[in-house]
Amino acid sequence: MNANELIKQLLLSFNSNDKEAFFSVAREYIEREKRMKHTQVAKELEKALFDRNGNGISFSERRFKNTLPIPRDSEKGFPLLEIKQYEDSFENLIINDNLKNQLDQIIKEFKDSDILATYNLCYKKKILLCGKPGTGKTYTAHIVSSLLNIPLVSIRFDSIISSYLGETASNLRKVFDYIEQGTWIVLFDEFDIIGKNRDDIHEHGEIKRVVNNFLQMLDNFNGASILFAATNHQYLLDPAIWRRFDDVLFYDLPDDETRSKLFERYLKPLKRDQNINLKDILEKSDQLSPADIKMIAEEAMKLSIIDSRNSLTQKDLIIALEKFLKREKLRISTKEAE
Ligand SMILES: Nc1ncnc2c1ncn2[C@@H]1O[C@H](COP(=O)(O)OP(=O)(O)O)[C@@H](O)[C@H]1O
Ligand SMILES: [Mg+2]
């Protein structure tokens, strides 16, 4: 579409109160300015569209309607990626200061990428997120998308890996071709499916080829996005993969202080008894992840709400915690028995 047509579409969508279409056309216009190297204009328009203090349109977790068709697996027709705009705040991500600083730096570099470019420097573009499940790796990508007001593209590895192995490589190519055409926060979530140690003798030769392909595409990636790759099994990745990233963020299980903050955050919606003592709960929740703590807090609040009490008691918390620990024990023993 040319500029006049875009502006016409913009007015039409405004008139019919179709915010999603309005947002989508506005983005296309901005992308057009970028392609024409009108960087400053594009920046100002982006600010006008996204700035929360202005009259920008905001979407909370709505599917982002895009102008280019989403790439699909040609065999089964599944979409290979998903695009969403998130809205959340940095404070909600409870991580240690080290990690916070690393993340802060990534965001700042991206915001100042133009200035960095004048010195021939590039912002941190490819980031590896690793650590145990439920520690906030996927959530981090949502937060970065929110903070920068840029939609998150999540790559679905279940659909990328085709039973037709030649198709897998072609799917990856389609994904990279797509993301190279826009500005996104990109998340290759649980990418170890394709990033597993390339020397593993159990790996089929074709899969190895795909991994090499992925690494090459990562190396050659030159788009204006931030690429995150998340894994729960970083020890499975071979050193060649580590070297490809500009930064590695490691998500540890939360210490006492961080767990306390997590309980505070996830118990916030409900009033609490005055005699609640979190210390006891913190001791017993050693080794639990933020996602586990969220689950326990929600379970405890539900016990109280269903019971028509208007405040949370120590007993609610203990019941929820013990129920969780029992379940964990069962899960681990079942796994060991396998
Ligand atoms: N560090 C954290 N701070 C706050 N909430 C968290 C954190 N980590 C996980 N959560 C909560 O648990 C959910 C699942 O975590 P997720 O990011 O999917 O874990 P991972 O990707 O590391 O396995 C998140 O959506 C969030 O609600
Ligand atoms: Mg995850």
Query: pLDDT grade, residue 231 (50/70/90)?
Result: confident
Measured distance CA(289)–CA(274) in Å, rounded: 26
Which of 90, 139, 143, 192 to mutate for ligand 1's pocket (most ligand atoms within 8 Å of CB)?
139
State the distance from the centre of ligand 2 to the C-alpha of 134, rounded, in angstroms.
Answer: 7
Query: Is 145 near ligand 1, meaning CB less than 6 Å away?
Result: no
Q: Give mean pLDDT, residues 119-140.
A: 96
CATH 1.10.8.60 maps onto the chain at 256-337
CATH 3.40.50.300 maps onto the chain at 63-251
Q: What is the pLDDT of residues 64-99, one digit of tens each?
A: 445 678 999 888 888 999 999 999 999 999 999 999
Highest mean pLDDT among 59-73, 111-125, 234-248: 111-125
Measured distance CA(189)–CA(146) in Å, rounded: 17
Residue 197 has pLDDT above 50, yes or no: no
| Structure token digits, residue 257 | 């202080």
Nearest ligand to the CA atom of 262: 1
Residue nearest to atom 27 of ligand 1 (CA): 291
Q: What is the pLDDT of residues 13-52, one digit of tens each?
A: 888 888 778 888 888 888 888 888 888 888 888 888 876 5
State the distance from the centre of ligand 1 to the C-alpha of 38, rounded, in angstroms.
Answer: 38
Q: What is the pLDDT of residues 283-336, one digit of tens each?
A: 999 999 999 999 999 999 999 999 988 899 999 999 999 999 999 889 888 877
State the distance from the centre of ligand 2 to the C-alpha of 188, rounded, in angstroms.
Answer: 10
The CATH number corresponding to 63-251 among 3.40.630.10, 3.30.70.120, 3.40.50.300, 3.20.20.70 equals 3.40.50.300
Q: Quick one: how far is CA 252 from the chain centroid?
A: 17
Name the 3-class secondary structure at 304.
Answer: helix
Topology of 256-337 in CATH? Helicase, Ruva Protein; domain 3 (1.10.8)
Q: Which of ligand 1's atoms lies nearest the C-alpha of 132?
A: 22
Query: pLDDT grade, residue 63 (50/70/90)?
Result: very low
User: Residues with Cβ < 8 Å from 87, sequence gap 6 or more?
Assistant: 58, 59, 60, 61, 146
Residue nearest to atom 8 of ligand 1 (CA): 136
Query: Is 134 near ligand 1, meaning CB less than 6 Å away?
Result: yes
State the distance from the centre of ligand 1 to the C-alpha of 39, rounded, in angstroms.
Answer: 35
Nearest to 231 by CA among 139, 133, 141: 133
User: Residues with Cβ < 8 Å from 23, sequence gap 6 or more?
Assistant: 49, 57, 59, 65
Query: Is 254 near ligand 1, meaning CB less than 6 Å away?
Result: no
